[in-house]
Structure 1
Amino acid sequence: MTTHNIGIIMNGVTGRMGTNQHLIRSIKAIREQGGVTLPSGDILMPDPILVGRQEHKVRALAEKHGISRWSTDLDACLANDSDTIYFDSQTTAHRAASIKKAIAAGKHIYCEKPTADSLAESLELARLAREAGVKNGVVQDKLFLPGLIKLKRLVDSGFFGRILSVRMEFGYWVFEGDWQPGQRPSWNYRKEDGGGIIVDMFAHWRYVLDNLFGEVKSVSCLGVTHIPERVDEQGKPYEATADDAAYATFELEGGIIVQANSSWAVRVNRDDLLTIQVDGTEGTAVAGLRDCKVQHRVNTPKPVWNPDIPNPFKFLEQWQEVPDNQIFDNGFKVQWELFLKHVATDSPFPWDLLEGAKGTQMAELGLQSWSERRWIDVPELKL
C-alpha cells in the first residue's frame, strides 16, 4: 500500500460554503480519515493550498485548520506542477477567468456552480477543458443528500409506476439585516454582483430534475423581489436589485410536470427547508434533505370533500418512512472523493463542465421566461 499526495489549489474557500462544506467537511475530513482508498489499495491523500485575495483571511483560515500551505498569488500556485487540481468556490463573477487560467496551466478542474455568469462562457469553459484534455467536474451536491438518495432508490425500483408530477418547495426567511443580521451575504440580493435566487437555485433544480426524473424540456418562471431594501454587513441600507423568490413550472421528458417554488422570503411550515413530493400512479413520496416518506396505492385514503363535518382523516400519520439502509456521509465530501478517484484512476464522473453549463442555461431561460412572460423551450447543449 502506497500513499500518493495530490496537490489541490483551493481558491475562494474563505467564504461560508467554501470553508464549511469544501474545506472542513470535505478535504480536511478526508485527510483526517486517512485519505481516499483506491481500488488498488493505495491511498490518495489531498494536499491543499488555500488561495484568497485577502492575506489575513486566508492565513487565519489555514492556521485554524492545520493547513500548512496558503497564498494570495494564484498565478504562482498555478505554476506549481505538484498541484494538479484547481478548485474554485469564489463568487460567480470571478470564477470563469480563474478557471481559464487553470485550464491553460493544465490543471484538472473542479468548481462550484454556476460555472460562469453566462451560458456562452460556461460552454466556453467546457470546450476549453475538453480541448486541453483535463478532467473536470462541477459540484452537484444535492444528488448526494440522504433524502434524494432514497428518492432515487424509489424511482429506480419502479415504486411510483408512471410519474405524474413533482412539487418542490424550497426556502426560508432570510432576515433583512436591520434588527437581525441576514443569514446570506448581501451580494446575493444585488443583480449587478451576480445575485438572485434564480441564478443561485435553478442550477440545482436542473441537475436534480435531469438526474432523478428526466430531462427538462421547457420552463415557465415568474421572479419577484419581495423585499426591496435590505441592510448589508456594515449596517448600511441598500436596494435589493435581484429576485428573492421564483415560482416556476418545468415540463420534463415523458410529460412529467414540476412545480418549483424557491424563496428567501417565506416562513417554513413543512418538514424541511427543501421538500420534494413525487406523485405517481402507484405511489407517492415526500423527501426532505435527510428523510423520505411514502404512501403506496394500497394505503392511500379515500377522502371526500365535505367541509360541513370535521375532517375524519389524520393525513400526516398515513405515511411510512423509507429506512436509511446505509450510512450517509456528507454529500460534498462524497462527491470530492469521487472526483479525486476520477483524476487518479479515470473512474466515471458524469458531472462535468458541460453538465454545469446546463445549470447556467436553466437560470438564463428562467430569467428570459420571467422577462418575456412566456414558456421557453430548453435547447440541447452541444460543444
Structure 2
Amino acid sequence: MTRETTVRIAMNGVTGRMGHRQHLLRSILALREQGGLALGDGTVLWPEPILLGRREHALREIAERHGLEHISTDLDAVLADPSVDIYFDAQVTAAREEAIRKAIAAGKHIYTEKPTATGLDGALELARLAREKGVRHGVVQDKLFLPGLRKLKRLVDGGFFGRILSVRGEFGYWVFEGDWQDAQRPSWNYRAQDGGGIVVDMFPHWEYVLHELFGRVTSVQALTATHIPRRWDEHGKPYDATADDAAYGVFELDGGVIAQINSSWAVRVNRDELVEFQVDGTEGSAVAGLRNCRVQHRGTTPKPVWNPDIPATEPFREQWQEVPDNGEFDNGFKAQWELFLRHVYADAPYRWDLLAGARGVQLAELGLRSAAEGRRIAVPEITL
C-alpha cells in the first residue's frame, strides 16, 4: 500500500538562474512530474516547495507559471513554520551563511548550494551548529553526477589508469561585458565586495571533484587575474570589476597526483565541452567533459615524433575511443536531491555534508591567499 508523505521545502533563491532552472524546474518540479520519490517501502515523498526570496513579484510569476501555491519574502516566518521540513539555499553567497544559521536554529534540515559561507571559519561553524542541533545537512556537489565524470569515476574505480600521474582541467567561456551584448552571468559575480570572483565560485567545485576522484588536495598554488576590469550591469550601467575573472591553479593531491586547472570567464571555447579534464596514468589516459568521456589505453597509444618541419599528419583526436554510457544518467542536480531526500527520510548514507562544503571554502580561501602572496600553500585537513 502506497503512503504519500508531503515534504515542505523552503527554497530560497529560486529567482536566480541556478536556483530556478536546476533546482526548482529540473529537480523538485521534475520529481513532482514523476509522481514523487518512492523510498521503496511503500512511502512516496511529495515535495511541496515554498518559494522564498526578496522580490515578491518575481516569486509570484514563477509560482503562477508552474501552478505552485506558496511564496514568501519573510525568511523568519517561513522558518518558524513547523510544517517546513527542509531549508534550501541558492542565494548570493554573501547572504547564505546568516540564512543557514537561522534555519539550523529553527531545526530545519539543510541543503545548500556552495560556497556555504564567505570564509572557512563561518563554514566550519555552520557544520558544527548542524551537528550539535542534530539536523541532516547536505551541500550541492553537482559535478560528481555529470555523465562524463561518472564515466571517469568508473574508469578510476576499475583501475583503468594504473598509477594516476596528473589531471589537467580547462573550464570557462567568454562572459560578455554587458555593453553591446547582455552578460550571461549576474554582475555581482564580478564584485569582490558582493562575494564575487571565479576562485570563490569554482575552487569549491574543483575541491570535491579532485577529492572524490583522485585524492585530497594537500597544497595549492594559484595565480588570479581580472582580465576584464570594466563591465556593465543588468541596468546598463558601467561598473569596475573588483573580483577575479580567471584563475590558474596547481594542486598537489594525496598520493602524488598533480592537478592543473584553468578557470576563466574571459576565454573563448576551443574544446568539445565547457569543462574538460584530462587524466594521464601509466596504463592509459582519458578526457572527460560534462557528458562524454574518451580513452586511450597504453596498448593503443601511438608514437608521435616531434618534427616542426613537416605538417602534422596523425589524426590525434581519432585515436581515442568513446566510453559507452552503460546506464541511464538523470539530471545531476535531481539525482543529488533524491539522495538527500532519502538521507533525511530513509536514513540512507550521504557524505556531501556541510563539512565537505567547508573544504571547498577552505580551498578557495587558500587559493586567494596563494595568489596574493605569490607562493604555494599547504591545505591542512579539517575536522570538527
Fold match by TM threshold 0.5: yes
Q: Which residue of 1 aligns with 2:77?
A: 76
- Distance across 1 between alignment mates of 2:209 and 2:41: 32
Q: Which residue of 2 aligns with 1:303?
A: 304
Q: Which residue of 2 aligns with 1:327?
A: 328
- Give every structure 1 segment of 4 or more consecutive aligned residues whose post-TM-superposition deviation is greater than 6 Å: none
Q: Which residue of 1 aligns with 2:20?
A: 19
DSSP 3-state at the match of 2:259: strand
Q: Which residue of 1 aligns with 2:206?
A: 205
Alignment deviations for residues 222-244 of structure 1 (CA, whole Å, 9 cap, x no partner)? 00000010111111110000000
Alignment deviations for residues 134-161 of structure 1 (CA, whole Å, 9 cap, x no partner)? 0000000000000000000000000000
Between stretches 38-47 and 115-124, larger displacement belongs to 38-47
- Distance across 1 between alignment mates of 2:251 and 2:42: 45
- Distance across 1 between alignment mates of 2:130 and 2:110: 8
DSSP 3-state at the match of 1:161: coil
DSSP 3-state at the match of 1:358: helix
Q: Which residue of 2 aligns with 1:353?
A: 354
Alignment deviations for residues 220-275 of structure 1 (CA, whole Å, 9 cap, x no partner)? 00000000101111111100000000000000011100010000000000111000
Alignment deviations for residues 169-205 of structure 1 (CA, whole Å, 9 cap, x no partner)? 0000000111101100000000000000000000000
In the alignment, does 2:367 pair up with 1:374? no
In the alignment, does 2:107 pair up with 1:106? yes
Q: Which residue of 2 aligns with 1:276?
A: 277
Q: Which residue of 1 aligns with 2:33?
A: 32
- Distance across 1 between alignment mates of 2:218 and 2:328: 35
Between stretches 302-311 and 237-246, larger displacement belongs to 302-311
Count of residues paired in the alignment: 383
Q: How does 1:239-278 map to 2 (within 5 A)?
A: 239-278=240-279
- Distance across 2 between alignment mates of 1:290 and 1:26: 18
Q: Which residue of 2 aligns with 1:184?
A: 185
Q: Which residue of 2 aligns with 1:41?
A: 42
- Distance across 1 between alignment mates of 2:249 and 2:95: 28
Q: Which residue of 2 aligns with 1:9?
A: 10
1:3, distance to aligned residue in structure 2 (A): 0.8
TM-score (norm. length: structure 2): 0.99
- Distance across 1 between alignment mates of 2:158 and 2:80: 48
- Distance across 2 between alignment mates of 1:298 and 1:160: 12
Identity %: 70
1:362, distance to aligned residue in structure 2 (A): 0.5
Between stretches 325-334 and 36-45, larger displacement belongs to 36-45
1:309, distance to aligned residue in structure 2 (A): 2.3
1:364, distance to aligned residue in structure 2 (A): 0.2
DSSP 3-state at the match of 1:277: strand
- Distance across 1 between alignment mates of 2:350 and 2:206: 19
Q: How does 1:115-130 map to 2 (within 5 A)?
A: 115-130=116-131
In the alignment, does 2:206 pair up with 1:216? no
Q: Which residue of 2 aligns with 1:166?
A: 167
**Which amino acid is the alignment partner of residue 221 of structure 2?**
S
1:316, distance to aligned residue in structure 2 (A): 0.8
Gaps of at least 5 residues in structure 2 are none
TM-score (norm. length: structure 1): 0.99
**Which amino acid is the alignment partner of residue 195 of structure 2?**
G
**Which amino acid is the alignment partner of residue 147 of structure 1?**
G
- Distance across 2 between alignment mates of 1:379 and 1:314: 44
DSSP 3-state at the match of 1:22: helix
**Which amino acid is the alignment partner of residue 99 of structure 1?**
I
- Distance across 2 between alignment mates of 1:142 and 1:12: 20
CA RMSD after TM alignment: 0.7
Between stretches 193-202 and 46-55, larger displacement belongs to 46-55
Alignment deviations for residues 273-299 of structure 1 (CA, whole Å, 9 cap, x no partner)? 000000000000000100000000000
- Distance across 2 between alignment mates of 1:308 and 1:171: 33
**Which amino acid is the alignment partner of residue 253 of structure 1?**
D
Alignment deviations for residues 14-73 of structure 1 (CA, whole Å, 9 cap, x no partner)? 111100000000000001101111021321111111111111111111111111111111
- Distance across 2 between alignment mates of 1:2 and 1:48: 19
- Distance across 2 between alignment mates of 1:285 and 1:26: 30
1:120, distance to aligned residue in structure 2 (A): 0.4
DSSP 3-state at the match of 1:255: coil
- Distance across 2 between alignment mates of 1:303 and 1:284: 16
In the alignment, does 2:192 pair up with 1:196? no
In the alignment, does 2:294 pair up with 1:293? yes
